[in-house]
Structure 1
């Protein structure tokens, strides 16, 4: 894999998709449909998916592509593939809360190794460089030229005063019960894969997810977190979360800085 080419293409496609998403976001109204699992999908999901999938297939025709919005790709098998969620946080998009992201990742050997997470409404861009180090890009984004980037790294967690981030749209009692096992300094809520990025930048120490997610929801954020020194583990046995599972469904998981003294269920 040519990682330099991959990162360049993923970053450019995420910005192009983000532009399309924001154009639709700015409309007075947009259609919201229900998928077979009753989850919402909008014109922005579909338009962003078309941009990204066409771009990835053109640049990497030999690579398996899995994308949320194309059910035919969900039958793919293997542990090395490109995986896309063109608009993660559709509910945040519909309610105009801004916490939605474009997510593109490479999974190799069951591990997300490169990824980009772009939050167009918040103007935050996180990605892994070709060398695997995660960075945040700031300033005005240009599709053809990378702007100022700053390497990011997880916190040196203080287990007596942890910063915890949890889902905005999927918070439940089980999550609160688990968080109560820790000495928490402060809590914050965020939507979509931004939660992984807040752990990756050290803005949070811990992100537990006790709810249904799919691999396309998590792979890009997982890659960014890994490239910043963090980890994502299964909730049940604290082993690393693996990708390429049949059906692409995730178990419950915990994203964290390495210094966090993880509690068992």
Structure 2
């Protein structure tokens, strides 16, 4: 894998998909359909998926591709692959709340090593560079020429006053009960994979997820957090969250800065 090419192309494809998504987001109306798992899908999901998939297959034809919107790709049993969620946070998109992202990642031997998370409505973009270190690029964004970037590093957490981020659409009593095991200075909510990025930037120390997610929901954010010195572990035994699982479904997990002293569930 040519990591320099990968970083350049993932960034470019995320920006192109973001433009397509925002074109639909800012229109007067758009169609919302329901998938077999009862989750929503819009023409923005489908248009962004077509754009990103075509680009990745053209540039990296020998690397398996898994994408949320192509169910036949979910039948693969692979440990090294590209994985895409073209519009993570469709519920946020439909409600026009802005917390949705374009997610593209590379998983190698079950570990997300490279990724880009682009939040077009928020004007924020996070990605791993050619050596796997994570940065946030400052806008406005040019598709061909990267702008100024800021290196990302997780916080040196104060365990007596933690900053916690949790899901905006999926927070429940179990999540709150777990968060209450910690000494929390403040908590916030965010949609989509932005939660990983808030831990990566040091804006939050801890993100627990006690709910259903799929690998395409998490791989890009996980890669960004890895590249900033963070960790993602299973909720049940605190072992590293691995990828390439059958059906690409995740267990509950915790994303955090390593200085956070984790509590048992």
Q: TM-score if structure 2 supplies the norm length?
A: 1.00
In structure 2, the residue matched to 1:171 is: 171
Structure 1 residue 78 displacement after superposition? 1.5
Structure 1 residue ranges without an equivalent (≥5): none
Distance 1:86 1:63 in 2: 18
CA contact (8 A) 2:124 2:139 kept: no
Distance 1:150 1:96 in 2: 28
CA RMSD of aligned residues (A): 0.3
Distance 1:228 1:132 in 2: 9
In structure 1, the residue matched to 2:124 is: 124
Distance 2:149 2:114 in 1: 16
Distance 2:78 2:213 in 1: 19
- Is 1:54 paired with 2:54? yes
In structure 1, the residue matched to 2:90 is: 90
Distance 1:258 1:67 in 2: 30
In structure 2, the residue matched to 1:133 is: 133
Distance 1:93 1:77 in 2: 31
Q: TM-score if structure 1 supplies the norm length?
A: 1.00
Question: Equivalent residues in 2 for 1:1-40 (5 A)?
Answer: 1-40=1-40
Where 1:105 maps in the other structure, the secondary structure is strand
Structure 1 residue 255 displacement after superposition? 0.1
Where 1:146 maps in the other structure, the secondary structure is coil
Where 1:102 maps in the other structure, the secondary structure is strand
- Is 1:249 paired with 2:253? no
Q: Deviations over 1:104-138 (max 9, x none)?
A: 00000000000000000000000000111000000
Q: How many residues align?
A: 265
Where 1:211 maps in the other structure, the secondary structure is coil
CA contact (8 A) 2:210 2:252 kept: yes
Where 1:72 maps in the other structure, the secondary structure is helix
Structure 1 residue 139 displacement after superposition? 2.1
In structure 2, the residue matched to 1:104 is: 104
In structure 1, the residue matched to 2:230 is: 230
Structure 2 residue ranges without an equivalent (≥5): none
